[in-house]
Amino acid sequence: MIQKYQFLDVAFTYRTLKDEIDAAYAAVMESGMYIGGSPLAAFEEDFARSCDATHCVGTGNGLEALVLPLKARGIGPGDEVIVPANTFIATWLAAAQTGATLVPVDADPDTMNIDLDGVEAAVTERTRAIMPVHLYGQPVPAARLMALAEAQDIFVLEDAAQAHGARDGNSPAGSLGHAAGFSFYPGKNLGAFGDGGALVTRDADLADRVRMLANYGSREKYVHDEIGTNSRLDPLQAAFLSVKLRKLEEWTDRRRAIAAIYLDTLADAPGVRLPGIAAGTDPVWHLFVIRHDRRDAFQAALAERGVPTALHYPFANHHSGAFRAEFGDRSWPVTEEICRTCLSLPIGPHLTEDEAHDIAGIIRDCARTL
């Protein structure tokens, strides 16, 4: 078995930007400022602008970029938070860490994002927040969701961990709700060389509270007004991210070109269900997830032909040990079908369009002979 292609090449970004990354490293190291400082402030400003937001608060990771704004809004025990059933577990963990009650909603069978009809049906007088996830880089349309939320004073926190640069109409992820949490995990479209995250918002009071909670509950040194935590984006990572942010649009265009090749070449591939795109949205294709009823056999056949694939996410959150006691006897059938059949194809700026054509041809051939 020969692997002809790479599913993901995280080091590609370093090799591509080596001189600029090395210069950013040297500048931070020589400054002696390893917490906070101008590299962090500069990145926060630039990233907020890229999201059409006015405030950005760097955090230690993407999970804390979701937990902190929920806590800053005072969400806790007795409150309900609507979450997608189909998502990485971090979305659920963030809501659970506030002590609020999770209200999962099944996926739209086409886009695999949260079903908006289900969201409307799930709202109660105890609903304090909705957490739409732009899963795989596919934006959740905002207009209907925000109309519902604003009519009932519900906080909308985008989980945009996989959606750097995604758009709904002319609005980027990060500006579609009241606030958004991003992850800069190395494999993300905009990834650091370590962990990192950020909250973005147009709400100055929310940003201030998140920054305070992330700094031990303190706005002034040794004065701690609330029980906070320690969650900071390192200036070294911020400096790296500033370099990479300048290349994000180019790298996203490569992802979109590869996705277009897959969508065109696999349109008639037997048994392959392609991802749907919500009307008016422009995905950034963090992942390209297809579905196949014989997923495991299909994956093995592709591996034999040198095409690596991955599973995102093969186990539903309500079946995990963390949440089985609370939700294990319930069913979200669309989510369970996605978990059983999902298969992620190689995508990223490390691939050329010629390679994408080759990969797509192999996938189509395997689909026809499986």
pLDDT, tens digit, 9 for 90 and up, residues 252-287 = 999 999 999 999 999 999 999 999 999 999 999 999
Mean pLDDT, residues 291-316 = 98
- pLDDT of 1 reads 61
- pLDDT of 350 over the 90 cut: yes
Domain with CATH 3.40.640.10 in the chain: 12-245
Instruction: Report pLDDT digits (tens) over 11-33.
Output: 999 999 999 999 999 999 999 99
Task: Tell me how far apart the alpha carbons of residues 117 and 80 are, in angstroms, rounded to a whole number.
Answer: 18
pLDDT band at 10 (very low <50, low <70, confident <90, very high): very high
Question: Which residues 6+ apart lie within 8 Å of 177 measured at CB?
Answer: 132, 142, 145, 146, 149, 156, 157, 158
Nearest by Cα to 286 from 175, 182, 180: 182
Exposure on the CB side of residue 103, measured as CA atoms within 13 A:
21
Mean pLDDT, residues 117-134 = 98
Beta strands 55-59; 197-201: pairing state: antiparallel
Instruction: Report pLDDT digits (tens) over 86-104.
Output: 999 999 999 999 999 999 9
Do residues 224 and 218 make contact, with C-beta atoms less than 8 angstroms apart? yes
- pLDDT of 3 over the 80 cut: no
pLDDT band at 68 (very low <50, low <70, confident <90, very high): very high
270, two tokens: 């037997």
DSSP label at residue 53 = -
The mean pLDDT value of the chain amounts to 98
- pLDDT of 225 over the 80 cut: yes
Domain with CATH 3.90.1150.10 in the chain: 248-369
- pLDDT of 200 over the 70 cut: yes
DSSP label at residue 135 = G
Task: Tell me how far apart the alpha carbons of residues 90 and 161 are, in angstroms, rounded to a whole number.
Answer: 10
- pLDDT of 143 reads 97
- The burial of 310, by beta-carbon neighbours within 10 Å (0-12 exposed, 13-18 middle, 19 or more buried), is given as middle
- pLDDT of 145 reads 97
Fold of 12-245: Aspartate Aminotransferase; domain 2 (3.40.640)
Percentage, residues of the chain above pLDDT 70: 99
Q: If you classify domain 248-369 with CATH, what class do you get?
A: alpha beta
- Spatial strand order in the sheet of 80-84: 55-59, 197-201, 179-183, 155-159, 127-130, 80-84, 101-105
Instruction: Report pLDDT digits (tens) over 134-157.
Output: 999 999 999 999 999 999 999 999
Percentage, residues of the chain above pLDDT 90: 99
